[in-house]
Structure 1
Amino acid sequence: MTLELAIRADDAATVSDLLEAGADPHGPGSGGQTPLMIAAGLGRATIVELLLAAGADVFTAEPRMGATALHRAAQSGDTEVIGRLLDHGALVDQQSARLGHTPLMDAVQHKQEAAVRLLLAGGARVTIRNHWQETALDLARRDESDIIAGLLRARPERPQPLVSAVRAGDLGEVERLIAAGAAVDERVPATGDPDDDYTPLGLAARDGHTAVVRVLIAAGADPRRLNGLMGATPAHEAAFAGHAEVVRALTAPGPIGAPVVDLDAQGAYNGFTALHDAVWHGHEEAARALVEAGARLDLGTHTGHTPRQLAELYEYDDLARYLAEAERTAIRPRPFAFPQAALDDLRERLARTRWPAPEPVRDWSQGVPSARMRALCDYWRDDYDWRACEARLNALDPSVTRIDGLDIHFLHLRSPEPGATPLVMTHGWPGSVLEFGKIAPMLADPRAHGADPQDAFHVVLPSLPGFGLSEQPAGTGWGPERIARAWVELMRRLGYDRFVAQGGDWGHAVTTALGGIGEPAVRAVHSNMFPTYGTEHAVDEQEERALQRGRDFQANESGYQHEQIQSPQTIGYALTDSPAGQAAWIYEKYEQWTDHGGDPETLLSRDEMLDNITLYWLTGTAASSARIYWESFRSYRDPKVEVPVGVSLFPRDIYLASRRWAEEKYPNLVHYNELPRGGHFAAWEQPGLLAEEIRATFRRALRR
């Protein structure tokens, strides 16, 4: 005998035997009903208890109508079953998806007076409306159930003027009471009323009083406070009822420092976010408002359903398609959280390093000296703390979004200044977003760093494809031009339709490609690099020195470049397998390209260097990051740039130039400067100097 047949036969002994033998207490039967729903609907109290003891889920809703076991018990009127379900946490006010009925409404419609009394005693709310905007009292009146209607009307009122005004949607009275000092976050006391433990904002959001919501928020009402039996936020309440304009009012930008609604708060009972609630009842406009405000699309309920999966479950096809597209373009949190096993593996590999014989020279002419490399790796293995670096990165809102078929990871530091200019900064190789850890706060909050707050920026720091946590391309074609187009889309998704850009190394190439895209998206660009190609003509001593610096670089420092241009995959095997090899490959560049005066560790600490090296190691991006050389080095040339340009040159960079060359390339050059110190990693080495260069460039470019 099957479990369903035993339930229908009221054979509790067989049900018990089947459950002990492993029968699934959750498995759907006729019409998608679970065993618990069937037993509840038939009033089988003993069997209901057996199923609950076996772990049957009281929250599950059947797919046809969206009813739960409590709905079925309310329809049958069995108070013993209702009591047991409530004792096991069943949601007394859960609404069915198709009708919007609560168990109380079902009990009213089926004229189950005892069930109505028990549900009311259990806290059932009488003010909830179904999809036809009917309350339980409306249903009782329509069916001429006078006794039940009397039970529903018997609700005491409490003198709370602001609450009463909010319930009535009386905007003028709400404003008067607030002006007179009414407490905007007062709560309805718990006396058995459906509005128990609601705040005025929760009531206004639930009942769709948009203007009242705006007034309460302006008066300081906290949109994070939970309401009622379900512990719902005002956003939950508005979404559940389909009040899209209320959702927009709750999510509109408020004063700096004001509490902000938590769009992604999940209900304790079911794990629903506000977006789940909107989807559950098919409220497409409210769902769109939440998605547009940044609600997460990847959170699952206690049953594991994302909003899209919930829409699919209830066959809201248009809404499911919209959410699928939103998922494709969504911005999702993506913190740095490498498993401890990866760090343990790193230390074990470092301990097993097979070292080459020491170099026969006493300098860096053959590469990183053996003693320096051993000391660095010993420190890496025994003393370095990656988790400290991870915490700093995770303080900068690490996120990911899919653009042009690739997951692009980025950090985002919003300025506290209301008129801040959006700025995208792009790193190069062997750099990463870590280069900008010092300069980003200076640019985002100049007031806190002794600079003009008018020079504030919302700073966006994407990782190049194949670098950091950005996805490694599976195909070719990701050169600076394509990356620049992806950055335009990234900024658009962040709400920055117009922005400025900055970069060096490959970041220079991407930034210049952005300059080539130009207006209306890209307003101006700044570079801390000016590549020369050996075709420039020198007219003075400065330009001759610049050409000689390029020749010296090609003769003595470009071995890595040729390898990564020709065989990025080959070098990737070595660097991905050996942390000592990966470290040496990058550590050498710190010595060659930074302005350190003899020892790179006097400029950048070991921890700073190892932060960047460790990021390359943990992400396994030695080969994928090198491929940008194979993709673009022999073919990329700077495009024509018509927007304003700033160029800042640091003396120890791999290229030097002159103002004349910069003016020839950039007819709209608004800033040019040669700095007294600094090298290739300008943001890392001299963040203060570079920050002022960036401010000066965009001050001139945007305020002319």
Structure 2
Amino acid sequence: MFSVVLMTEIRPFRIDIPQADLDDLRDRLDRTRWAAPLPGGGWSRGVPVDYLRELADHWRTGFDWRAQEARLNAFPQFTTSIDGLEVHFLHVRSANPDALPLLLVHGWPNSFVEFAAAIGHLRAFHLVIPSIPGFGFSQAPGEGFDVTAAGRVFAALMERLGYDRYGVQGGDLGAYIAPEVAVAAPDNVVGVYVNGGLGFPDDDDDDLTEEEAGFFARMAEWSRGAVDHHSLLRAAPQTFAHGWNDWPVGLLAWLTQKLQEFTPTAEVPERAIDLDLILTNVTLYWLTGTSGSSSWFMYGTDRFRWPRGQRAVPTGLYSGPPGFRRLAERHNDIVHWPEARPGGHFVAMEVPGVFAADLSVFFAKVGR
């Protein structure tokens, strides 16, 4: 008798990394060929050698992947096939059967691990936390995949789970995808909550106020000191993926560089984000070999663009600045715009309780 697997089937999933893969990781860390320090103090030339040595040593001897694997497996996980892609997701139901379903969309260079610390603060929602295609345990997309396609995939996922009314959250890459879910399913999405990213000028804007123009000029000056990952991964993602996929310290250095830039509130990333959470994310990238496939958002575009949002449903932001509300309202129906909240770029990892509380305030406005 032949067994037919339906394309709409939802299958239980459990993380179970072979011990041989963990042994290989430790062996590669043991045999790292360290670069000599370059002139310049602190982070002026990139991740300092001494700092990275300490971080790698902790990854090798102090970090317990099996403990983190068990932590993640405590959340119900599943896979399903949508538009020819195998999609991995967490589905954590609230004790309240009438709770509002909430789709949480992670950023780059992150994964579903971004929300591990926030889940306990969001028990008032039925949570659906997918791995974006190309990230973690979700299948890598093919040529032409974009944020619009990702939005359609996630709208289809919510429909498959039986949710006909739900909220969506997104930050970083998620700030591009979350609005597209609303565009794909405007009759189902009650609101979109974004971790910043809205309210930035387009290239052809010529009506900026003096305050806006001055602010964005200062922001541009600051960004010149950061690694332009959009340009780098747009130009030669395959080239860099060779190194990141072959040697763990190279991957660790790259992800640490970006986290350092994304956590301006702290001297080093682990003072803003729990170190085990950082290393869980790095280890997931290593074990799944997704340093290249997770870059589709960059290599699939011709230039960098800020997210514009959408007008199909109401929008709320975790924190208004560094964008300007006047500019954000050109493309969004803004109903929640607090002027200041703690944390940096990945607030669900840095201040999960504050993030969850503010998100709850927004969906209390629009969710019924």
For the criterion TM > 0.5, the same-fold answer is yes
Larger radius of gyration, structure 1 or 2? 1
Which residue is 1:696 aligned to? 361
Structure 1 SS opposite 2:88: strand
Unaligned runs of 5+ in 1: 1-308, 313-319, 445-455
Closer/same/farther in 2, CA of residues 363 and 696 from structure 1, 3 Å limit:
same
1:683 to 348, 352, 355: 348
- AA at the equivalent of 1:404: D
* CA–CA distance in structure 2, aligned partners of residues 633 and 528 of structure 1: 24
Structure 2 SS opposite 1:409: strand
Structure 2 SS opposite 1:399: strand
In terms of fraction of residues, the more helix-rich structure is 1
Which residue is 1:480 aligned to? 147
Which residue is 2:330 aligned to? 664
Which residue is 1:598 aligned to? 267
- AA at the equivalent of 1:481: T
Which residue is 2:127 aligned to? 459
- Asked if structure 1 preserves the Cα contact closer than 8 Å seen for 2:201 and 2:327, the reply is no
1:610 to 263, 279, 292: 279
Which residue is 2:111 aligned to? 432
- AA at the equivalent of 1:467: F
Q: Cα distance, 1:595 vs. partner? A: 4.2
- Asked if structure 1 preserves the Cα contact closer than 8 Å seen for 2:103 and 2:127, the reply is yes
String of CA shifts for 1:215-250, please: whole Å, max 9, x gaps. xxxxxxxxxxxxxxxxxxxxxxxxxxxxxxxxxxxx
- Asked if structure 2 preserves the Cα contact closer than 8 Å seen for 1:503 and 1:527, the reply is yes
Alignment of structure 1 residues 358-373 onto 2, 5 Å: 358-373=37-52
Q: Cα distance, 1:515 vs. partner? A: 2.5
Which residue is 1:241 aligned to? none
Count of aligned residue pairs for this structure pair:
364
Structure 2 SS opposite 1:460: strand
- Asked if structure 2 preserves the Cα contact closer than 8 Å seen for 1:650 and 1:680, the reply is no
Which residue is 1:13 aligned to? none
- Asked if structure 1 preserves the Cα contact closer than 8 Å seen for 2:230 and 2:304, the reply is no
- Asked if structure 1 preserves the Cα contact closer than 8 Å seen for 2:63 and 2:276, the reply is yes
- Asked if structure 2 preserves the Cα contact closer than 8 Å seen for 1:538 and 1:544, the reply is no
- Asked if structure 2 preserves the Cα contact closer than 8 Å seen for 1:408 and 1:471, the reply is yes
Indicate whether 1:342 and 2:21 are aligned.
yes
* CA–CA distance in structure 2, aligned partners of residues 569 and 599 of structure 1: 29
String of CA shifts for 1:123-144, please: whole Å, max 9, x gaps. xxxxxxxxxxxxxxxxxxxxxx
Alignment of structure 1 residues 220-619 onto 2, 5 Å: 309=1, 312=2, 324=4, 327-444=6-123, 456-473=124-141, 475-531=142-198, 532-533=200-201, 535=203, 536=205, 537-541=207-211, 544-553=214-223, 555-619=224-288
Structure 1 SS opposite 2:101: strand
* CA–CA distance in structure 1, aligned partners of residues 334 and 201 of structure 2: 20
Output the aligned Cα RMSD.
2.0
- AA at the equivalent of 1:464: I
Higher mean alpha-carbon deviation, 364-373 vs 691-700, is at 691-700
Which residue is 1:642 aligned to? 312
- AA at the equivalent of 1:458: H
Closer/same/farther in 2, CA of residues 618 and 533 from structure 1, 3 Å limit:
farther
Q: Cα distance, 1:665 vs. partner? A: 2.3
Closer/same/farther in 2, CA of residues 635 and 534 from structure 1, 3 Å limit:
closer
* CA–CA distance in structure 1, aligned partners of residues 302 and 78 of structure 2: 29
Q: Cα distance, 1:500 vs. partner? A: 1.0
Q: Cα distance, 1:408 vs. partner? A: 0.3
Q: Cα distance, 1:357 vs. partner? A: 0.7
More contact order relative to length (CA 8 Å, sep ≥ 6): 2
**Structure 1 runs, 4 residues or longer, greater than 6 Å off:** none
- Asked if structure 2 preserves the Cα contact closer than 8 Å seen for 1:413 and 1:441, the reply is no
- Asked if structure 2 preserves the Cα contact closer than 8 Å seen for 1:435 and 1:683, the reply is yes
Q: Cα distance, 1:639 vs. partner? A: 5.7
Identity, % of aligned pairs? 40
Structure 1 SS opposite 2:284: helix
Higher mean alpha-carbon deviation, 632-641 vs 495-504, is at 632-641
Indicate whether 1:625 and 2:294 are aligned.
yes
* CA–CA distance in structure 2, aligned partners of residues 673 and 526 of structure 1: 12
- Asked if structure 2 preserves the Cα contact closer than 8 Å seen for 1:518 and 1:524, the reply is no
Q: Cα distance, 1:579 vs. partner? A: 0.2
Closer/same/farther in 2, CA of residues 334 and 632 from structure 1, 3 Å limit:
farther
Q: Cα distance, 1:583 vs. partner? A: 0.4
Q: Cα distance, 1:518 vs. partner? A: 4.2
Alignment of structure 1 residues 150-165 onto 2, 5 Å: none
* CA–CA distance in structure 1, aligned partners of residues 77 and 144 of structure 2: 26
String of CA shifts for 1:469-520, please: whole Å, max 9, x gaps. 00122x2122110011010111111111221100011100000112323421
Closer/same/farther in 2, CA of residues 417 and 543 from structure 1, 3 Å limit:
farther
- AA at the equivalent of 1:585: W
String of CA shifts for 1:256-308, please: whole Å, max 9, x gaps. xxxxxxxxxxxxxxxxxxxxxxxxxxxxxxxxxxxxxxxxxxxxxxxxxxxxx
Closer/same/farther in 2, CA of residues 529 and 513 from structure 1, 3 Å limit:
same
Closer/same/farther in 2, CA of residues 622 and 394 from structure 1, 3 Å limit:
same
Closer/same/farther in 2, CA of residues 550 and 633 from structure 1, 3 Å limit:
farther
